[in-house]
Structure 1
Amino acid sequence: MNVNSFIHWMKQTHGKVSSAVYAPIAGQNRSQQQAFLRSLEKEKKNSLYVPLDKLKVVVFDFETTGFSPEQGDQILSVGAVKLEGWLVKEEQTFYSLVQFSGDLSPKIKQLTGLEEADLREAPPLREVLLKFYQYAGSDVLVAHHASHEKRFLEQATWKLFRTSLKHRLIDTSFVFKLVDTNEQLIRLEDYCQHCGIEVNNRHHALGDARLAAKLWSIYINKLYQDGCYTLKDIYERLAVLSR
């Protein structure tokens, strides 16, 4: 996809999730929003024992201005897709740009196809994250090389809501290591090519979330067939592998 087509596709997907669905939580005061976010923690322990073929997860991705939220880098867009077991729910996606008033570096513009004009008209991060959290509910969060997303999500959640991240967040690369123990893969596209997944809309938050969701589906199915029936089983096998 060329840059112009990419940008056109991105603008079409922006706002697909109706803001009316999220209006109640977005309109609450900070104390009510904190209570909502803290309520999500109650399902965290239970998710360890849900059979993998019934486990509900949200695979998500951030596009950002850089790699260091503690040094002022910001989230530019959020994309996510839901799965139940290894069934990707293509119709249940989330995507939003995030308001940004600064100037993007030429590298970020080229990489993501984002432009300052689109970001200045986007909703603020507080609103986007509340919508994202309501979309995710108490589902397990999954991201490819999740340390990047985790740092931004933790920093933003504390800064905006004065509460810590309550969700369980799983790094896809750890799960992949349990199946392809000898493969030295790093980039999302490398994993996709290894699994025969066509790479489209790379470095678009929703595009990358969809690719990571397909990978999660493949690997979680393989682990289930190999005797890992819950997240607890996966964590125990990872512990053995790391010894």
Structure 2
Amino acid sequence: MKQMQGKINSSVYASMQGQSSAQQIAFLRQLQKEVKVEESLEVPLNELNVVVFDLETTGFFPDQGNEILSIGAVKVKGGKVRYEECFYSLAQCNAELTPEIKQLTGLKEEDFEGAPELSKVLIDFYEFVKGDVLVAHHASHEKSFLQHFNWKLFRTHFRHRIVDTSFILKIAEPDSNMIRLEDCCEHCGISVVDRHHALGDAKMTAELWSVYVDRIQEQQGCKTLRDVYEKLSK
């Protein structure tokens, strides 16, 4: 995918650290303006640069007070997972973690001592993503949290395109009823490692994306994201 035009100088970004939220808001608004969402529809899938990501959260409903605990992401370029290009951060959490969340994620309250505020984590994450397409497994969860906190923290709308790997699965294997990430990975021979850790889930989802993008290009003739959406609409 074409990178966003008018890249923001990294020194400008660096100078923002520790400064006011007004500058963070200005930075994010400029970044969001330059995201070229429509261009991504025409880029060949085997050339599309994506950032596959995952959120760990305290629940499913950001508008009811659930918080983001961590963000993990890895880049996929030219269909290849770039394990050396990763992002991971905990985010400051003010809520007491439930026993279920502790068991699921392995996180404890003491892990968040000194964790950065969510506003900084999101800015760092978007700087990592830049203009790439975002990919997530059952992405409605991630999208709802990013939409909510973008508006709450920055008063700006979330503009990145997010592609759901479950859409790709529907095209590649229309009769499949697999839902869970670990089931999809095991079906494709992908090792399940660090499940329910944001970066671990992001890496597994990236491998899944790579496998299924190859399949839909070879077997279904889907060459671009536009082809994917047209196939799903039928």
Q: TM-score, normalised by structure 1?
A: 0.87
CA distance in 1, matches of 2:177, 2:89: 33
Q: Residue 53 of structure 1 aligns to a residue in which SS?
A: helix
Q: Which amino acid aligns with 1:66?
A: G
Q: Assess, with a 3 A threshold, how the Cα gap between structure 1 residues 21 and 114 changes in structure 2: closer, same or farther.
A: farther
Q: TM-score, normalised by structure 2?
A: 0.90
Q: Does 1:23 align with 2:18?
A: no
Matches within 5 A, 1:5-16: none
- Report the equivalent of 1:81: 74
Q: Residue 47 of structure 2 aligns to a residue in which SS?
A: coil
CA contact (8 A) 1:58 1:141 kept: yes
Q: Percent identity?
A: 52
Q: Assess, with a 3 A threshold, how the Cα gap between structure 1 residues 177 and 25 changes in structure 2: closer, same or farther.
A: farther
CA distance in 2, matches of 1:40, 1:110: 40
Q: Does 1:118 align with 2:122?
A: no
CA distance in 2, matches of 1:67, 1:84: 30
CA distance in 2, matches of 1:203, 1:98: 16
CA contact (8 A) 1:100 1:120 kept: no
Matches within 5 A, 1:183-198: 183-198=176-191
CA distance in 2, matches of 1:121, 1:31: 23
Q: Does 1:154 align with 2:151?
A: no
Q: Does 1:221 align with 2:214?
A: yes
Q: Which amino acid aligns with 1:157?
A: N
CA contact (8 A) 1:57 1:141 kept: yes
Q: Does 1:39 align with 2:62?
A: no
Flag as ranges the 4+ runs of structure 1 deviating above 6 A: none
Once the 2 structures are TM-superposed, how far is the Cα of residue 184 of structure 1 from its aligned partner?
A: 0.3
Once the 2 structures are TM-superposed, how far is the Cα of residue 119 of structure 1 from its aligned partner?
A: 1.2
Q: Does 1:53 align with 2:43?
A: no
Q: Deviations over 1:11-59 (max 9, x none)?
A: xxxxxxxxx9963454461452243232333x11101001111100000
- Report the equivalent of 1:14: none
Q: Deviations over 1:106-161 (max 9, x none)?
A: 11011101111121320000000000000000100010000000000100111111
Once the 2 structures are TM-superposed, how far is the Cα of residue 84 of structure 1 from its aligned partner?
A: 1.3
Q: Which amino acid aligns with 1:175?
A: I
Q: Which runs of 5+ in 1 are unaligned?
A: 1-19
- Report the equivalent of 2:7: none
Matches within 5 A, 1:204-219: 204-219=197-212
Q: Which amino acid aligns with 2:26?
A: Q
CA contact (8 A) 1:34 1:162 kept: no
Once the 2 structures are TM-superposed, how far is the Cα of residue 97 of structure 1 from its aligned partner?
A: 0.4
CA contact (8 A) 2:73 2:198 kept: yes
Once the 2 structures are TM-superposed, how far is the Cα of residue 176 of structure 1 from its aligned partner?
A: 0.6
Q: Deviations over 1:204-240 (max 9, x none)?
A: 0000000000000000011111311111111111111
CA contact (8 A) 2:24 2:123 kept: no
CA contact (8 A) 1:101 1:119 kept: no
CA contact (8 A) 1:33 1:161 kept: no
- Report the equivalent of 1:99: 92
**Which of the residues 110, 129, 137 maps onto 1:136?**
129
Q: Residue 90 of structure 1 aligns to a residue in which SS?
A: strand
How many residues in Structure 1 have an aligned counterpart in Structure 2? 220
Structural RMSD (CA)? 1.6
